[in-house]
Amino acid sequence: MWYVMQVQTGSEEKIRIQCSTLLSPQVLLQCFIPYYEEQRKLHGEWNLQKKVLFPGYIFMISDQLDELRIGLHKVPGMTKLIGTGDEIIPLTDEEVLFLEGFCGDKQIAEISHGVLEGSQVRILSGPLTGKEALIKKIDYHKRRAYLEIQMFGRIQKIRLGLEVRMEKIQKPDSE
């Protein structure tokens, strides 16, 4: 099952390493942080950067929730496992499929590429392919798409890298 641990934003990588070091690999099958890629302009040059997709969250795969819970008490900086009240709730199958589809095996959502056709964006490649309906806003200048998705039992606002080019409109030949 996939579980989500809430941590202080900015400490995700440090705590991920602690979890991987302090917990048994039989208990913690995998511990990761999903990232996304985006282009940022620094000193006049566009550079590819990797950013945390869900700031303040670490994802864990385990088949032994009780042992995982006990082991996490050794991890300084752990806030809590996501759940309702005292019950820890794993991610739903839909949430897992969403993450696997967006991030793949490398847990990185690569930059999507699309075209602007009139006032509509059509995604040609990348994790946003076929998911244009999830896009709530596009910042063409910063090359980002803003989405709202259902995750952790509530609406999460996330951003992803998006390169959009203008589609040239063909004028009909005059006869």
Percent of the chain with pLDDT over 70: 95
Q: pLDDT value at position 174?
A: 52
Q: What is the pLDDT of residues 115-145, one digit of tens each?
A: 988 888 899 999 999 889 899 999 988 999 9
Provide mean pLDDT across the span 52-61: 94
Torsion sign (Cα): 105, 109, 114, 118: positive
Burial of 161 (0-12, 13-18, 19+ CB in 10 A): buried
Name residue 99's amino acid: L
Give the predicted TM-score (pTM) of the model.
0.85
